[in-house]
Amino acid sequence: MRFSQVLIPTLKETPAEAEVISHKLMLRAGLIRKLSSGIYNWLPLGLRVLRKVERIVRQEMDRAGAQELLMPAVQPGDLWRESGRWEHYGRELLRFKDRHDHDYCLAPTHEEVITDLVRREVRSYRDLPLNLYQIQTKFRDEIRPRFGVMRAREFLMKDAYSFDVDEETSAESYRIMQKAYRAAFQRLALKFSVVEADSGSIGGSFSHEFMVLAETGEDAIASCESCDYAANLEKAEVPAPQGQTPGPAQEKAQVATPGAHTVEEVARFLKVAPAAVAKTLIYLADGQPVAAMVRGDREANEIKLKNLTGAAELVLAAPSAIQEITGGPVGFSGPVGLAIPIYADQELYYSGALVVGANQADAHLSGVHLERDVPQAKRADLRQAAPGDPCPRCGGGLAFARGIEVGHTFRLGTKYSQALGAAYLDAEGQSKPIVMGCYGIGVSRIVAAAIEQGNDADGIIFPMPIAPVSVAVLPLDVEGQAMETAQAIYEDLWAAGVDALLDDRDLRPGVKFKDSDLLGVPFKVVIGKKGLKEGKAEFKRRAGGQTEMLDLKEAAALVAKMAKEAGAQSL
Ligand code: ATP
Ligand code: MG
């Protein structure tokens, strides 16, 4: 590849629309261009990165015994009705009609189609286990597409689906996929963490997310400093405090709190700690009002609440609904006398006397003892884990970090096989539902995640295995011996199976260095007049370190060897 012939529209200025570094750098390096909100063109060098990520993922899936197929992006609505998701998927599912007025959608995921295929083609236990995967374009009409290809509407995903005779063999298929994922992310040279994830209404701790650690990640992770427990904050369990809960400390009494809406205002006004105030939040769970209580200095965990209520949809009630449900305005809700289901965080039971809203303007109740005054409340783990909490497994300290979800593994059980009637005949001729698992990797998101982890003031620092090219060959003169020597090295690199970019543009050396750094090319070989006189080429790594002088005769072979040792792939 010659720089002068490839479409590499690098930009000097940072585009205003980009918020995170990976998005900025992908635009500046000319890897992607936006077509529409959340919809991107992949330019030649960007596509090379994407293809390299895809190849590693494919190789690890193949190695694990999964079989590649390709399913359609356009799917009939009727199949989605069978699984119940036509109604339940929500607005991320882009629906439309064909010329015959039949319903269709753009696939956000492929459980329906793969289960349909398997119910037709698999008959007997002898056909199982089976693991089928594809690397294919998904469409999700995300409410807030952002960060470029990180949260796009159209994106590339690897999705695999396992089919087994029972839970035990399904667990083994799950284990094999986890191992394949670890191998893939290691080869991609990413710093990652595997965390327990919420598995929604299906239950069990059978869902794991693979997180690339980055400060800009949308997900928060809690991990134990002593054992290997790690969980998405959505899922991180908070153990109940130790010891006996205290008995009532005071009589409950109404106190005036004029204008004090927030926990801080109420605490300041009543001269108590925020921890002695309980927040009562009113939600609608599938349209039915419920109350959730957490200590004033804590955050409610809506995923935990949603799972407790079993609701498909949970939303905070609007102020008008709060007024109707509690009889009081926002900021003054409380559990006493509230005739709706109440969930109270377990920690509140250790507070003795609490301040809660009185369900009327400018009033609170003090001295509230939950067991005495709100006996109907359901005691549960309802809050977000926070610094200082013990690990739910070993009691050790928890550390908090942020991550980008690049993979998700999930045991589905028989949810889809039962809905769609995917069954097999066992050795006794009995019909049984097939037990499934599903496993996603965000192939295009990985490109952005890798850049979030690898960058500096000069641009991208790609890990060798996924760099658009492994080596940049920079002649400082585009005529005469420098160019001829550079070209020879460039050709030798390709012949040795290492992809290289020859910067044949008649530009100042500084510009060439800058572009190569911006693009994140891991190795640079520089051919200049001074080196030529001594029979040497300059060799430099993007990630830092000393410039080395290589003998011209051996330069190509040496650089090729080092690139391959660093995991270089050539497309
Ligand atoms: P998220 O919580 O980030 O929305 P998800 O749980 O909806 O992810 P899955 O349905 O598990 O995602 O999809 C599998 C993988 O596809 C995710 O782990 C992620 O890497 C990737 N992915 C999901 N949504 C997007 C998106 N909008 N843009 C790019 N990649 C995505
Ligand atoms: Mg999502």
Per-residue pLDDT tens over the stretch 115-129:
999 999 999 999 999
Please report the atom of ligand 1 found closest to the CA of residue 109: 10
Phi and psi based region of residue 204 (left: phi greater than 0; alpha: psi -120 to 50; beta: remaining): left
Instruction: Indicate the top mutation candidate among 195, 443, 445, 452 to test ligand 1's pocket, ranked by most ligand atoms within 8 A of CB.
Output: 445
CA distance 274 to 263: 6
Q: Is the separation of the CB atoms in 66 and 160 below 8 Å?
A: yes
In single-letter form, the type of residue at position 82 comes to E
Instruction: Indicate the top mutation candidate among 221, 405, 452 to test ligand 1's pocket, ranked by most ligand atoms within 8 A of CB.
Output: 405
Identify which ligand lies nearest to the alpha carbon of 151.
1
Please report the atom of ligand 1 found closest to the CA of residue 152: 28
Tokens of 38: 């959340």
Instruction: Indicate the top mutation candidate among 408, 409, 412, 446 to test ligand 1's pocket, ranked by most ligand atoms within 8 A of CB.
Output: 408
Strands 378-380 and 342-345: what pairing?
parallel
Please report the atom of ligand 1 found closest to the CA of residue 157: 16
Residue % of the chain over a pLDDT of 70: 99
Place of tokens 């109440």: 342
Identify which ligand lies nearest to the alpha carbon of 185.
1
Tokens of 299: 């955050």
Query: Residue 70: its pLDDT value, please?
Result: 98
Identify which ligand lies nearest to the alpha carbon of 136.
1
Check whether 205 has a pLDDT greater than 70: no
Query: Residue 524: its pLDDT value, please?
Result: 98
Q: Measured between alpha carbons, how far is residue 59 from residues 6, 63, 188, 440 in Å?
A: 28, 6, 12, 15
495-545 confidence digits (pLDDT tens) = 999 999 999 999 999 999 999 999 999 999 999 999 999 999 999 999 998
314-345 confidence digits (pLDDT tens) = 999 999 999 999 999 999 999 999 999 999 99
Report which protein residue has its CA nearest ligand 1's atom 18: 407
- Which residues share a beta bridge with 270? none
Tokens of 269: 């006004």
- Which residues share a beta bridge with 527? 475
382-427 confidence digits (pLDDT tens) = 999 999 999 999 999 999 999 999 999 999 999 999 999 999 999 9
Nearest to 389 by CA among 237, 243, 263: 237
**Phi, psi values for residue 283, rounded to 5°:** -120, 165
Q: Which SS3 state, helix, strand or coil, does residue 452 take?
A: helix
Pocket of ligand 1 (CB under 6 A): 109, 140, 142, 151-152, 155, 157, 405-408, 440, 442, 444-445
CA distance 434 to 166: 7
Q: Is the separation of the CB atoms in 200 and 307 below 8 Å?
A: yes
Asked if the peptide bond before residue 258 counts as cis, ω within 30 degrees of 0, the response is no
Ligand 2 centroid – CA 85 distance (Å): 15
Query: Residue 88: its pLDDT value, please?
Result: 85
Burial of 70 per CB tally in 10 Å (0-12, 13-18, 19+): exposed
Identify which ligand lies nearest to the alpha carbon of 209.
1
Q: Is the separation of the CB atoms in 441 and 57 below 8 Å?
A: yes
Please report the atom of ligand 1 found closest to the CA of residue 407: 18
Q: Measured between alpha carbons, how far is residue 287 from residues 99, 317, 544, 571 in Å?
A: 36, 9, 57, 53
Ligand 1 centroid – CA 404 distance (Å): 10
Check whether 38 has a pLDDT greater than 60: yes
First to last CA, the chain: 12
How sure is the predictor about 201, in pLDDT bands with cuts at 50, 70 and 90? low
Query: Residue 204: its pLDDT value, please?
Result: 52
CA distance 76 to 56: 32
Tokens of 563: 């690139």
Ligand 1 centroid – CA 410 distance (Å): 13
CA distance 363 to 332: 7
Query: Residue 200: its pLDDT value, please?
Result: 64
Report which protein residue has its CA nearest ligand 1's atom 31: 442
How sure is the predictor about 51, in pLDDT bands with cuts at 50, 70 and 90? very high
Average of per-residue pLDDT across 6-25: 95
Identify which ligand lies nearest to the alpha carbon of 443.
1
- Enter the pTM of the model: 0.92
Report which protein residue has its CA nearest ligand 1's atom 19: 442
- Round the average pLDDT of the chain to a whole number and report it: 96
Q: Is the separation of the CB atoms in 132 and 65 below 8 Å?
A: no
Please report the atom of ligand 1 found closest to the CA of residue 153: 27
Report which protein residue has its CA nearest ligand 1's atom 27: 151
78-96 confidence digits (pLDDT tens) = 999 999 999 888 899 999 9
Average of per-residue pLDDT across 346-372: 95
Tokens of 264: 């801080």
